[in-house]
């Protein structure tokens, strides 16, 4: 898709050039500028897509970190609900111990 956009931009700029191909330096600069803008736009689209895909993982990692922090530094919650640490681990971790 990007290659099609690059070729389309190049051919459009060549067609719109009033001088034809006599002013090659100016044409090169215009084409390079247009290609840079297309490349930057593609990078922004990829960044947005990566952010959308990574967001759920970020939420899960953040929540698990908060749960570990809370149970480590504020142990009164699990101490009130469970008699000992082994019962708490067996209930929360199950067979993953």
- Model pTM? 0.41
Cβ distance 38 to 2 under 8 Å? Answer: yes
Q: Over its length of 97 residues, how does the chain's per-residue pLDDT go in tens digits?
A: 667 776 777 777 677 666 555 666 777 777 778 788 888 888 888 888 787 888 889 899 999 888 888 878 887 777 788 888 888 888 878 766 5
The two structure tokens encoding residue 26:
């100016």
The two structure tokens encoding residue 36:
């840079």
Cβ distance 17 to 23 under 8 Å? Answer: yes
Dihedral over Cα of 79, 82, 85, 88: its sign: negative
Q: Give Cβ neighbours of residue 10 (< 8 Å, ≥ 6 apart).
A: 31, 34, 35
Residue with tokens 């919650």: 77
């Amino acid at each position: 898709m990007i290659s099609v956009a690059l070729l389309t931009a190049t051919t459009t700029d060549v067609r719109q050039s009033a001088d034809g191909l006599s002013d090659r330096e100016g044409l090169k600069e215009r084409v390079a500028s247009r290609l840079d803008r297309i490349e930057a736009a593609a990078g922004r689209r990829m960044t947005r897509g990566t952010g959308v895909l990574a967001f759920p993982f970020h939420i899960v990692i953040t929540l698990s970190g908060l749960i570990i922090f809370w149970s480590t530094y504020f142990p009164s919650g699990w101490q009130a609900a469970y008699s000992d640490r082994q019962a708490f681990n067996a209930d929360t971790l199950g067979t993953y111990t």
